[in-house]
Structure 1
């Protein structure tokens, strides 16, 4: 595992699209899955620039990616809000886990857990005491197994009007 760099963006995008194309139809309708592939699979360059996004490679290909953010944006595809780039207050707000994707043939090997471990350690080192995320349904089992608690179920609106079921989750950080 290593920090992502700008040159990784095409590979990250390809992984995101492949993962969503393979996994989302198992949890959502065909129409919802197609919309998710379009709107939830754009790499967020800010995460890379902030040095908070990680990739796993195998044979020169990115097979897993994910990271955390010290900024207000909760998830890709949420539309642009004026305060998305606002730095969070580590004393009162949770850091965000963002854009976790694993290629289907590389799931169940601990790659996402390793990324979550790194996110938790790095966020804690910067003063955060909790993490939050908006999980799509394919990610819920991973986050539950890691120790995230569900705070609420909601519908996530995408720019084309399609809504996906999402689960807000939190995790308390420990030294």
Structure 2
């Protein structure tokens, strides 16, 4: 098991035993951290396109930050074509394997528990995922950012590639596809 420590948070790769805590954390993060950036209707609709992708845990590529036994944040990297979406958003999923020689790895499902926001957890997890992707031969990464995550990613060197909208039951949710060279 790979472990790192930064600002009193340990990181480790998630296991199936973490699933219930991760699901609770993601729901809290979606509901709380997008407030003020999206309408209440957009926040509610976001649950249809965001959430837990257990493929990341099965692949051993989902990193969690823990302090005192509490999961404070999570996020992963993937060598699969899926850019975003959870287990329930099947139309967004593509399990095809990427070629590190030509494809960017995907940074996926980044969430911080609202009680731990603005404490460097997102950056800690992002750095760990980027290092892991680079160790697996990837020269670049890409992600689909929410408005609440855009600033973190821009500060970490990601550049916007395109702005898109995911539409759920007629409600448009703004997203930004971003990339970075490792």
TM exceeding 0.5: yes
- Asked if 1:16 corresponds to 2:17, the answer is no
Structure 2: how far apart are the matches of 1:166 and 1:116? 18
- The TM-score normalised by the length of structure 1 is 0.91
Q: Classify 1:60/1:82 alpha carbon distance in 2 versus 1 (closer, same or farther; 3 Å).
A: closer
Q: Provide the residue aligned with 1:46 in structure 2.
A: 55
- The TM-score normalised by the length of structure 2 is 0.88
Alignment of 1:116-127 (within 5 A): 116-127=126-137
Unaligned runs of 5+ in 2: 1-10
- Asked if 1:27 corresponds to 2:37, the answer is yes
Alignment of 1:38-117 (within 5 A): 38-41=48-51, 43-76=52-85, 79-81=89-91, 84-117=94-127
Deviating 4+ runs (over 3 angstroms) = none
How much does 1:83 deviate?
A: 6.9
Please, what is the CA RMSD of the aligned residues?
1.7
Whether the 8 Å contact between 2:85 and 2:93 is mirrored in structure 1 is no
Unaligned runs of 5+ in 1: none
Structure with greater helix percent: 1
Structure 1: how far apart are the matches of 2:16 and 2:157? 31
